[in-house]
Chain A
């Protein structure tokens, strides 16, 4: 089945540690996104990537890093510089990576819940 997978489902991090969240899609989508969701809040964009080997900062990129070496994979690293990383992280993808990408439907993975101990 085509879809987006995220792992792990739950992740615990000690203060000062970097952790990496996995996001894989087999939808053959060009664009991929990372969002952060805090309790009772909407989604905020961390990073997005329109094509392989290219990515752009979103609204809240500080303390996060990404890579896009393969079309199907867009891992997110939460660094120790992120002061308040406890949140629910959602990965999404959409078909187009070109000019129309902002209007394409985004499809989401099941999310990773990160907790800092």
Chain B
């Protein structure tokens, strides 16, 4: 079965530390998409990134970077020089071409950045 695992339930770091959130997925498809969303305390999910299975290049956006490795079925998210505003729950999700409709969601990782 298709699955997304975020093994870290909660991570707490001090501001300015780097932190990596892990995401491991399972799929039978060769074509699929991976997503990261941020859910701040307000509740709204904010889209961060979408990556297709044919593009294994790492992505950097400011302090955010993503490491996609098909060999280990992982799509990890790193925040460099973390800030208090990064405190949120982060979700990883998987979508497969020709699958019925679903985004398959991980359980989320709660990130706490202490000042």
Q: Which residues of B contact A88 (CB under 8 A)?
A: 43
Bound together, the chains give a CA A49 to CA B35 distance in angstroms of: 21
Q: Which residues of B contact A110 (CB under 8 A)?
A: 42-44
Bound together, the chains give a CA A103 to CA B97 distance in angstroms of: 6
Q: Given A56-B101, A105-B35, are A42 and B107 neighbors across the interface (CB < 8 Å)?
A: yes
Q: How many residues of B contact A (CB 8 A)?
A: 25
**Chain A positions near chain B (C-beta within 8 angstroms):** 41-43, 45, 48, 56, 58-59, 88, 90, 92, 100-103, 105-111, 113
| Interface majority SS (helix, strand, loop, mixed), chain B | loop
Q: Would you list 20 pairs from A and B whose C-beta atoms are within 8 A, ordered by A residue? A: A41-B108, A42-B105, A42-B107, A45-B102, A45-B103, A56-B101, A58-B101, A88-B43, A90-B44, A101-B101, A102-B95, A102-B96, A102-B97, A102-B100, A105-B47, A105-B50, A108-B45, A108-B47, A111-B43, A113-B43
- Whether B101 pairs with A48 at a CB distance below 8 angstroms is yes
| Interface majority SS (helix, strand, loop, mixed), chain A | mixed
- Whether B105 pairs with A102 at a CB distance below 8 angstroms is no
Bound together, the chains give a CA A19 to CA B35 distance in angstroms of: 32
Q: Which residues of B contact A42 (CB under 8 A)?
A: 91, 105-108
Q: Which residues of B contact A45 (CB under 8 A)?
A: 101-103
Give, as a whole number of angstroms, the nearest-CB distance from A2 to chain B.
14
Whether B99 sits at the interface, judged by CB under 8 Å, is: yes
Whether B33 sits at the interface, judged by CB under 8 Å, is: yes
Give, as a whole number of angstroms, the nearest-CB distance from A56 to chain B.
7
Q: Which residues of A contact B96 (CB under 8 A)?
A: 102-103
Bound together, the chains give a CA A90 to CA B44 distance in angstroms of: 8
Q: Which residues of B contact A43 (CB under 8 A)?
A: 45, 91, 103, 105
